[in-house]
Structure 1
Amino acid sequence: MSTVSPRPGSSLRDGDLVAALDLGSNSFHIVVAQRVLGQLRVVDRLRETVRMAEGLNALGGLAPEVRERALACLARFGQRVADIPRRHVRAVATNSVRQLRDPEAFLRPAEAALGHPIDVISGREEARLVYLGVAHEQPPEPEQKRLVIDIGGGSTECIIGRGFTPLERESLQVGCIASTRRFFDNGKLGRKRWQAALTEVELQFQQFAAPYRSLGWDEAIGTSGTHKAIGNICAAMKLGKGSITREGLAQVRERLLQAGRIEDIDLPGLSDDRRPIIAGGVLVLEAAFAVLGLEQIQVSKAALREGVLYDLLGRGGADDPRELSVAALMQRYGVDAAQAQRVESTALQLFDQVAAAWGLGSEDRAMLSRAARLHELGLAIAHSGYHVHGAYVLQHSDIAGFSQQGQRFLAALVRSHRRSVPKSAFESIPDRLLGNARRCAALLRLAVLLHRARKDELPPGLRLRANGDRLELALDRRWLHARPLLRADLEAEPEDMLGLGLQLHIAQD
């Protein structure tokens, strides 16, 4: 990728640097670009083989030596992005971190080493970003449909898209490292074992093969290290140039089986770094060819990191993918837009009054705004406990543009916007976000209370002051006494607010 046009709303100016980091199951990557004459020009790329997936055990633990290898790599990458503003850096972690029993135990030191937050993204969000990277590296025709397959170390993402828009996204728990470990852990490459493994991996693809083949595509593209490695082998064996064919893949597989053992693999064009995991990659790609009926797949240089870089440009702007997702959720669940706007407006008014005292930033404001618009999402399921239903949907859905931490932040605010606040509401929030999440939840609670009557009215001179964990809400006495239900709600609120670790005092002027 040489240049990318910044999206409208981007805060980048000429000379600014932006960086995207991909913490994959096999390798960690970083790409740094600079805005020059309105375009992004890549100025640096770094890659290190970390093999996170190799260190995972069945219980979600991570081998100490792999953990240290990952942290050392992040410390080096951190030096490269140390002078780039936080808003211009985004790091994403994929399948191996998703599989950890206690991700925070790894993420805390990892973020300290890197010096930037790390977003854990779902498999389908990873698929969306991969597609963006391919679409902007190789711009498609407007109506052209593409199948994109990304075989990583621990998972495989399959996407069908039209133009720059993903239409279907799937993520499978098969990858080059995971499949090599699972099927060939003793190093032997036998024909019988290969066929049994192939049948098992094919079952994974068959889960979505029918709708994918029904939708169809005009071309197939493969991304990331596995496709590049197999493409290099095919080129060296004169089986294709820039693409992988069904016949070429079959010949590569035969050469693997002839080797008999992984350490004896001798394929032209194959690097020593890729040799220990190539068998699993070839196996997964052969299964994809068989089940999806592929005859040929082009190899792209783009991957997740390019998608993250491009996506980063739109975050905070008019076409932020998170804003599009919030609008889609409101429509899907029939959210009362007028009430959502009332609550949002008041929540943001309160936010602006205490942001400086509480050290809240623009990202906190944006998350509070989204939570306000979505706080009644659960009403589409049932009125009783609708805040619980809404929180569940937000935490467990695949929501484009959001990291897993971001979805949990939203879910915690929605879960705690009414009734008592359970300790479990914030259990999954990372420590670095916990304090601000609790404070944003308090602001949402007050905004919801003030609009319980579902009217466009606010007390004159509404004021909120914050001093540490103490909040003081000032209301007009006459206005409040004319609303006995609201007065009763506010009298009970200080006790509920203790669940957020805050002391609320109501002052009447």
Structure 2
Amino acid sequence: MDALARAGSLSTPLRDGDMLAAIDLGSNSFHMVVAAYTLGQLRIVDRLREPVRMAVGLDARGGLDRAVRDRALACLARFGQRIRDIPPQRVRALATNTVRLMAAPQSFLVPAETALGHGIEVISGREEARLIYLGVAHAQPPKPGSLRLVIDIGGGSTECIIGRGFQTIERESLQVGCIATTRRFFGDGRLSPKKWREAVIEVGAEFQQFANAYRALGWSEAIGASGTNKEIGGICAAMGLTKGAVTAAALPRVRDRLLEAGRIDAIDLPGLSAERRSTIAGGVLVLEAAFDALGLERMAVSKAAMREGVLYDMLGRGSGHDPREASILALTQRYGIDEGQAARVEGTAMRLFEQAAPAWKLDPDDLLMLAWGARLHELGLAIAHSQYQVHGAYVIEHSDIAGFSRQEQQFLAALVRTHRRKIPKSAFDALPDRLLPSARRTAALLRIAALLHRSRDSEEIPRLDLLVDGPRMVLGLDRRWLHNRPLLRADLEGEPPQIAALGVQLEIATT
């Protein structure tokens, strides 16, 4: 059984009747969608939404207002009650722009995870864009072979995506959401045509960074996702301008009607909910800038958004079509990684994992991280041989890798950073406390696997026994095999003081 098959044998595939939950900690609202896996399909059984308005509570220094923080934690506690019987591996909670901008995100995430009862992952803007597109594509299947533009205006950011089928081609995320833009340009509550024109030019400059490339690629239809676009579409319908879409002709009339109010608190648009009155100006402004920059004439509105995309991403992960696999393959090809050496290290790492997992309580997610860490451990060689583990870790942590959350990338980066040489004390600082035990122990397994294959010898290791008991790790090897490899023997003799930095006490036994 090869390493990939071994990884699959330890995974937990979806079974008929399994429940899944996706939680979206957005900058405006928190959403939760609960679905049942039935006959290979997802059936939505519950939806919850609360207007937490996290972005309103974020100050210029990245601090979160206590009242907003308490509101967010109370919401997550209620969500947690609803999903307390769903296994952790069937729940994904994702935090977006507001948490990305926090100066000390762990000060919010730790109590937030306690309130929810599940881990919370922070994702990049481009990963958010991928998941938004996935949700829209499943809700409104695209025409075969045609390109589609999806625009999602959130509370703190706006995502623009071009895709074909269920795959994204271009993804961009801008710091111009409905809350952020309203606060930025109309913080005093006053509206005026002059201020609006200046703001549209400024926001439009953000879209101009990629507008030419998008327009050159083209699309056959444009779709708006999430609450702000749905609200604007509803206003257009209520004003008798469209049947629910947003058009280049209707949008200026919505804007002019909005500006007639003169003040945010006096806005009275047909079809506008009281909840969105305080932020609709920023949403309309961002959409007008997008229409101008991208040359849009019409945008339909989707009921789906990121949370639905998260559910379908989980469906892929649970049915053997994990999108992260494609990303790992792309990285190995882009950086010219020696696939033979990576496979040798991965295979040995999997053998060690199988023996250590029960005692160390490592799970299938740890197995995947170990396998991917093995495939990428030499990525930094494409940059320089000296300190290549440092270069590789930096690339993994700071790249936009489709399918991965920030914590997953930080986990992988820590494995790559610590697989050789001295282990820095700061190697795991970016990880939340809940991931530290498995990250350190998984790193120890990768470190041993990489060391055993330092010579790049393709000969299989005849004996590879591993006994773990708490921090103690006893590695059993064939005495004659090891005797014929003096360099490896010297490396193993010098390894216990090094690996101790991972909280592991290594012993070598030969027979």
TM-score scaled by length of structure 1:
0.97
State the AA in 2 paired with 1:417: H
Task: State which of 162, 168, 171 in structure 2 corresponds to 1:169.
Answer: 171
Secondary structure of residue in 2 paired with 1:423? coil
State the AA in 2 paired with 1:196: E
Cα displacement (A) at 1:322: 0.8
Task: State which of 112, 115, 120 in structure 1 corresponds to 2:114.
Answer: 112
Which piece of structure 1 moves more, 477-486 or 334-343?
Answer: 477-486
Q: What is the correspondence of 1:235-250 to structure 2 with a 5 Å cutoff?
A: 235-250=237-252
Cα displacement (A) at 1:98: 0.6
Residue 389 of structure 1 is matched in structure 2 by 391
Q: What is the correspondence of 1:224-263 to structure 2 with a 5 Å cutoff?
A: 224-263=226-265
State the AA in 2 paired with 1:144: S
State the AA in 2 paired with 1:214: A
1:139–1:45 CA distance, 2 compared to 1 (3 A): same
Find out whether 1:355 has 2:353 as its counterpart.
no
Contact 1:223/1:300 (8 A) holds in 2: yes
Q: What is the correspondence of 1:235-384 to structure 2 with a 5 Å cutoff?
A: 235-384=237-386
Which piece of structure 1 moves more, 400-409 or 311-320?
Answer: 311-320
Residue 455 of structure 2 is matched in structure 1 by 453
Task: Let me know the Cα RMSD of the aligned residues.
Answer: 1.1
Secondary structure of residue in 2 paired with 1:158? strand
1:10–1:259 CA distance, 2 compared to 1 (3 A): farther
Residue 150 of structure 2 is matched in structure 1 by 148
Query: For the residues of structure 2 that align with 1:445 and 1:191, how far apart are their CA atoms?
Result: 62
Q: Structure 1: which 5+ residue stretches go unaligned?
A: 1-8
Cα displacement (A) at 1:15: 2.3
Cα displacement (A) at 1:497: 0.7
Contact 1:60/1:101 (8 A) holds in 2: yes
**Deviation string for 1:9-58 (max 9, x for gaps)?**
98333322111111100000111111334332111111000000001011
Residue 405 of structure 1 is matched in structure 2 by 407
**Deviation string for 1:102-156 (max 9, x for gaps)?**
1111111111111111111100000000000010000011111000000000000
Cα displacement (A) at 1:470: 1.4
State the AA in 2 paired with 1:284: V
Cα displacement (A) at 1:316: 4.5
Find out whether 1:102 has 2:95 as its counterpart.
no
The runs of 4+ residues in structure 1 deviating greater than 4 Å are: none
Identity of aligned residues (%): 68
Task: State which of 50, 53, 75 in structure 1 corresponds to 2:52.
Answer: 50
Secondary structure of residue in 2 paired with 1:92? strand
Query: For the residues of structure 2 that align with 1:233 and 1:371, how far apart are their CA atoms?
Result: 50
Secondary structure of residue in 1 paired with 2:457? coil
Query: For the residues of structure 2 that align with 1:165 and 1:354, how far apart are their CA atoms?
Result: 37
Contact 2:14/2:318 (8 A) holds in 1: no
Task: State which of 183, 194, 197 in structure 2 corresponds to 1:195.
Answer: 197
Contact 1:10/1:313 (8 A) holds in 2: no
- Number of equivalent positions: 501
Cα displacement (A) at 1:481: 1.5
Query: For the residues of structure 2 that align with 1:199 and 1:304, how far apart are their CA atoms?
Result: 28
Task: State which of 474, 481, 484 in structure 2 corresponds to 1:472.
Answer: 474
Cα displacement (A) at 1:225: 0.7
Secondary structure of residue in 2 paired with 1:259? coil
Query: For the residues of structure 2 that align with 1:385 and 1:318, how far apart are their CA atoms?
Result: 35
Residue 490 of structure 1 is matched in structure 2 by 492
Task: State which of 123, 137, 141 in structure 2 corresponds to 1:121.
Answer: 123
**Deviation string for 1:473-500 (max 9, x for gaps)?**
1222221121111011111111111221
Residue 184 of structure 1 is matched in structure 2 by 186
State the AA in 2 paired with 1:210: N
Secondary structure of residue in 1 paired with 2:451? helix
Query: For the residues of structure 2 that align with 1:12 and 1:414, how far apart are their CA atoms?
Result: 30
**Deviation string for 1:394-415 (max 9, x for gaps)?**
0000001100000000000000
Secondary structure of residue in 1 paired with 2:249? helix
Query: For the residues of structure 1 that align with 2:16 and 2:370, how far apart are their CA atoms?
Result: 31
Cα displacement (A) at 1:377: 0.7
Secondary structure of residue in 1 paired with 2:274? coil
Residue 222 of structure 2 is matched in structure 1 by 220
Cα displacement (A) at 1:366: 0.8
Residue 21 of structure 2 is matched in structure 1 by 19
**Deviation string for 1:380-439 (max 9, x for gaps)?**
111111111110110000001100000000000000000000011111011000111011
**Deviation string for 1:444-470 (max 9, x for gaps)?**
010011011111234432211111111
Secondary structure of residue in 2 paired with 1:77? helix
Residue 507 of structure 2 is matched in structure 1 by 505
1:444–1:10 CA distance, 2 compared to 1 (3 A): closer
Residue 3 of structure 1 is matched in structure 2 by none
Query: For the residues of structure 1 that align with 2:340 and 2:453, how far apart are their CA atoms?
Result: 11
TM-score scaled by length of structure 2:
0.96
State the AA in 1 paired with 2:100: R
Residue 8 of structure 2 is matched in structure 1 by none
Query: For the residues of structure 2 that align with 1:363 and 1:289, how far apart are their CA atoms?
Result: 42
State the AA in 1 paired with 2:151: I
Residue 5 of structure 1 is matched in structure 2 by none
Contact 1:10/1:314 (8 A) holds in 2: no
